[in-house]
Amino acid sequence: MTPDVFLFWFLALTTVLAALGVIISANPIYSVLSLVMTMVGVAAIFVTLGAYFLAGVQLIVYAGAVLVLFVMVLMLFDLKHEIHAFTRGPVTGAIKIAAVGLLGGMIVGAIALSANSLMKTENNGIQTVIEGDSTKALGKLLFSQYLFGFEALGVLLLVVAVGAVALARAKGGTHAQH
Amino acid sequence: MGRDSFEIIVNGVKMIVIFLMMVQVVPILVWLERRGSAFIQNRFGPNRVGPLGLLQLLADAVKFLTKEEFFPEKGIKFLYYAAPVSALIPATLAFLAIPLGAPIKLDTFEMFGQTWGPYTFLIQGYEIGVGIVFILAVSSLAAYTILMAGWGSGNKYALLGALRASSQTISYELAMGLSIVGVILLYGTFNLTDMVTSQQGPLSFLFQGHTVTLGWLPNWGIFYQPLAALIFYAAAFAESNRLPFDLAEGEAELVAGFHVEYGGFKFNLFFIGEYGHCLVASALMVTFFFGGYQIPLITPDEMLVHVQGLMGAGNAAAIVNGLLHHVVFLIKMAVFVWIFIQVRWTLPRFRYDQLMDLGWKTMLPWALANTILTAALIYVAHT
Amino acid sequence: MPLGGVLFIVVFLIAFGCLMLWLASKLGTQKIADPVKYQSYECGIPVQEKKDTKISVKFYLTAILFIIFDIEIIFMYPWATTFKDSLAAGQGLYVLLSMGAFLLIFIFGLFWEVKSKALEWD
């Protein structure tokens, strides 16, 4: 086993186990910390593929920003009732069974669909890994082929910001002043 | 360049040595901080143990190790113990990615009856192509350590401290990230080694097709990006939760912040992490704006020729040259670490709203202005 | 590959941290059993249970706005690395203006947020 192959299997196994931890752990805090671990694992796999910048962005945006918000929210709400409601009771049991069935179906389907390509050993039409730094290529593509999407994203983020501020300012609910 | 056992062993040992260096610097910094604060406040400071109180470091280490093991009854065991251990990781990973000295180029040599080399060893844990992005990425993981400690302690003051610390950290991460855009524009790369290399020699730049040279100034980033340097350094203070931005630990309201339930060596690990962030910030200041490991006005290659003139050509000269540049880097870094300490004992603490206003309404717009100005200037200079 | 080095040092750090904690627990002084000692440290007043903590929505808003601006800043990074290359290739004005449009949206967003008092703390 070459170091590269070992590294891939190690990272893949860690990532999948962490992802399992997200859905298995009953405590939401552990769930979200496992999700952090999953993101870090995915970033490391990006590195093995030569996508260094993407790996960094994965960490900065998902692990460093989005999930910090998740952790903060979970830590500050008292979730005892919710934990109880989501781990016990007949409705929850039915949902669990349905979820297991769904997952099993997805796995069977994925294997059935990809059995052909799994058997093949030669290149499945996937482009070979870009050697060296792919960041500059990314920057050039962003400003030529995908310029419209890039500018549209700026507008989208603005709309999201406006929406968040509007929601936070809304009066009502448990925090109503009057 | 093939990889053999010698190279792998040297690289592994090098990483551990750099980490241990970081750990060893912490007690020295603590001593410096206590003596320095005493000097500023016209007190004596620690002066009982050993000459100038220097053995205080050793006494502190022994004290940390022999403290009683403590676990709060409402704590969560896994998170409570995992937090201090993981506190070491972000700062160390970031510090290892910074070039700390000129690369050492070794010719072939004989050892154990075999011929080895030639090798190029970097005085750096590992070289990463996207250096800055890597450092920002691992530093952003530091928030989890704080949140884990705050939650795992089972204490509401710890949780509030963790919340304020992480909220503050993310507010200043924006200004920091944006100030770096100006730096990247200037050098056109993420790679820290390339940044250092492009700062060598005297100040000279291209302006509308003419090369302007000022022979008496080094070609340092600070002369191109003074505003970015200021914003970056100020944001680094906030990121490492030090005064004047230490609201996370405001004693009057929060007892001691997220580490209120920690004592002994567990607290010491947090301490190492926190000082590690100061070291990373100082090292990045040197790398971005003050020429990295280079001696002003002399490139490492020219210096190598001088050293070889003294010692004769050979591997010894290459090693001495590398270590010389490492010492230069450490001296430059020490200046910024001292400013960290000086500021801590000179400025009062901000109020929370002032802190947030400074981050969002002052530093973020200025960093934005810096980015636009830099881009416009580069455009004018190059056309 | 730097990833090997990163993994190596992470494993080393975890081992180092655990070793130190273990050592400290072995060398530490004997425990003196006293139930009061292990209560949460709340300045000596009787411990109050955390029932339903209400934290200002400002903290969440700050975090959401941080995510949004963080993504916008991340998008500037590839632009910043390729800017000099684009200048050399003669596409300088085009890249500058397309980034300018993006920056205008960014500035408008920041301006609007300051004006909407979403960033006011009291």
Inter-chain touch C53–A48, beta carbons under 8 Å: no
Inter-chain touch B85–C103, beta carbons under 8 Å: no
pLDDT tens digit string along A106-163? 989 888 887 766 555 555 444 555 555 677 788 888 888 888 888 898 899 999 988 8
Please return the burial class of C19, using the count of CB atoms within 10 Å of its CB with bins 0-12, 13-18 and 19+: exposed
Residue A36 lies in a domain: yes
Q: What is the ipTM of this complex?
A: 0.86
At A124 the pLDDT is 46
Contacting chains of A (3 CB pairs or more, <8 Å) are B, C
| Whether residue B168 has pLDDT greater than 90 | no
Residue A75 with chain B: CB contacts under 8 Å: 147, 150-151, 159, 162-163
Structure tokens that stand for B232 in this block: 């970056």
Residue A176 lies in a domain: no
Tell me, yes or no, if A68 comes closer than 8 A to chain C by beta carbon. yes
Distance CA A144, CA A136 (A): 12
Please give, rounded to a whole number of angstroms, the shortest distance from the CA of C32 to a CA of chain A.
Answer: 32
Residue A157 lies in a domain: no
Angle between helix A147-169 and C57-88 (nearest 10) = 160
Please return the burial class of B131, using the count of CB atoms within 10 Å of its CB with bins 0-12, 13-18 and 19+: buried
Inter-chain touch B140–A60, beta carbons under 8 Å: yes
Return residues 71-100 of C near B (CB < 8 Å). 73-74, 76-77, 80-85, 87-88, 92-93, 96, 99-100
Inter-chain touch C94–A3, beta carbons under 8 Å: no
CATH number at residue A119: 1.20.120.1200
Q: Is B323 helix (H, G, I), strand (E, B) or coil?
A: helix
Residue B283: pLDDT band with limits 50, 70, 90: very high
Over residues C94-119, the mean pLDDT reads 86
At B220 the pLDDT is 87
Q: Closest by alpha carbon to B125, among A26, A127, C8?
A: C8
Over residues B341-346, the mean pLDDT reads 85
Residue B1: pLDDT band with limits 50, 70, 90: very low
Inter-chain touch C99–B89, beta carbons under 8 Å: no
Residue A144 lies in a domain: no
Q: Closest by alpha carbon to B101, among B236, B229, B287?
A: B287
Contacting chains of C (3 CB pairs or more, <8 Å) are A, B
Residue C5 with chain B: CB contacts under 8 Å: 11, 15, 96, 125-126
Residue A139 lies in a domain: no
- Computed over every residue of chain B, the mean pLDDT equals 84
Strand locations in chain A, DSSP E?
Answer: none
| Whether residue B224 has pLDDT greater than 70 | yes
Q: According to DSSP H, which parts of chain B are helical?
A: 5-40, 56-65, 77-96, 131-140, 142-152, 156-187, 192-197, 226-239, 251-254, 264-289, 300-311, 315-344, 352-357, 364-382
Residue A155 with chain C: CB contacts under 8 Å: 105
Q: Is B104 helix (H, G, I), strand (E, B) or coil?
A: strand
**Is the peptide bond preceding residue B244 cis, with omega within 30 degrees of 0?**
yes
Minimum CA–CA partner of B163 in chain C? C59
Residue B79 with chain A: CB contacts under 8 Å: 29
| Chain centroid, CA B339 distance in Å | 13
Please give, rounded to a whole number of angstroms, the shortest distance from the CA of B165 to a CA of chain A.
Answer: 11
Lowest mean pLDDT among A3-7, B90-94, B285-289: A3-7
Q: Closest by alpha carbon to B98, among B279, B282, B284?
A: B284
Residue A129 with chain B: CB contacts under 8 Å: none
Burial A9-44 (b: 16+ CB within 10 A, else e): eebeebbeebbebbeeeeebbbbbbbbbbbbbbbbb
At B286 the pLDDT is 92
Q: Is B223 helix (H, G, I), strand (E, B) or coil?
A: helix
Inter-chain CB pairs, B–C, below 8 Å: 188
Yes or no: say if C84 and B382 are a contact pair by the CB < 8 Å rule.
yes
Task: Please tell me the pTM assigned to this model.
Answer: 0.87
For residues A117 and B102, which has the higher predicted lDDT (pLDDT)? Answer: B102
At A125 the pLDDT is 47
Inter-chain touch C13–B178, beta carbons under 8 Å: no
Minimum CA–CA partner of B127 in chain C? C2
At B22 the pLDDT is 85
| Residue in the structure block whose two tokens are 């960041």 | A135
Structure tokens that stand for A47 in this block: 């590195």
Inter-chain touch B177–C27, beta carbons under 8 Å: no
Lowest mean pLDDT among B144-158, B214-228, B246-260, C86-100: B246-260
Inter-chain touch A60–B136, beta carbons under 8 Å: yes
Please give, rounded to a whole number of angstroms, the shortest distance from the CA of C101 to a CA of chain A.
Answer: 7
| Whether residue B303 has pLDDT greater than 70 | yes
Helices (H) and strands (E) in chain A, counts: 8, 0
**Is the peptide bond preceding residue B300 cis, with omega within 30 degrees of 0?**
no
Distance CA A58, CA A39 (A): 7
Residue A147 lies in a domain: no
Helix H or strand E segment including A31: helix A28-48
Please return the burial class of C117, using the count of CB atoms within 10 Å of its CB with bins 0-12, 13-18 and 19+: exposed
At A41 the pLDDT is 92
Helix H or strand E segment including A14: helix A3-24
Residue C110 with chain A: CB contacts under 8 Å: none
pLDDT tens digit string along C35-92? 777 777 776 677 766 555 667 777 788 888 888 888 889 888 888 888 888 888 878 7
Over residues A56-65, the mean pLDDT reads 88
Inter-chain touch B147–A68, beta carbons under 8 Å: yes
Total domains in chain A come to 1
pLDDT tens digit string along A12-60? 999 999 999 988 887 788 888 999 999 999 998 888 887 888 888 889 8
Yes or no: say if B381 and B207 are a contact pair by the CB < 8 Å rule.
yes
Which domain, by its residues, includes A108? 3-133
Distance CA B83, CA B41 (A): 34
Residue B327 identity (one-letter amino acid): V
Minimum CA–CA partner of C108 in chain A? A158
Helix H or strand E segment including C70: helix C57-88
Please give, rounded to a whole number of angstroms, the shortest distance from the CA of B136 to a CA of chain A.
Answer: 7
Return residues 71-90 of A near B (CB < 8 Å). 71-72, 75-76
Distance CA C84, CA B205 (A): 14
pLDDT tens digit string along A70-79? 888 887 776 6
Distance CA C80, CA C76 (A): 6
Minimum CA–CA partner of A160 in chain C? C68
Residue B44: pLDDT band with limits 50, 70, 90: confident
Inter-chain touch C119–B361, beta carbons under 8 Å: yes
Lowest mean pLDDT among A169-173, B91-95, C21-25: A169-173
At A176 the pLDDT is 47
Sorted by where each begins, the domain ranges of chain B are 72-110+127-382
Please give, rounded to a whole number of angstroms, the shortest distance from the CA of B234 to a CA of chain A.
Answer: 20
DSSP state of B213: E
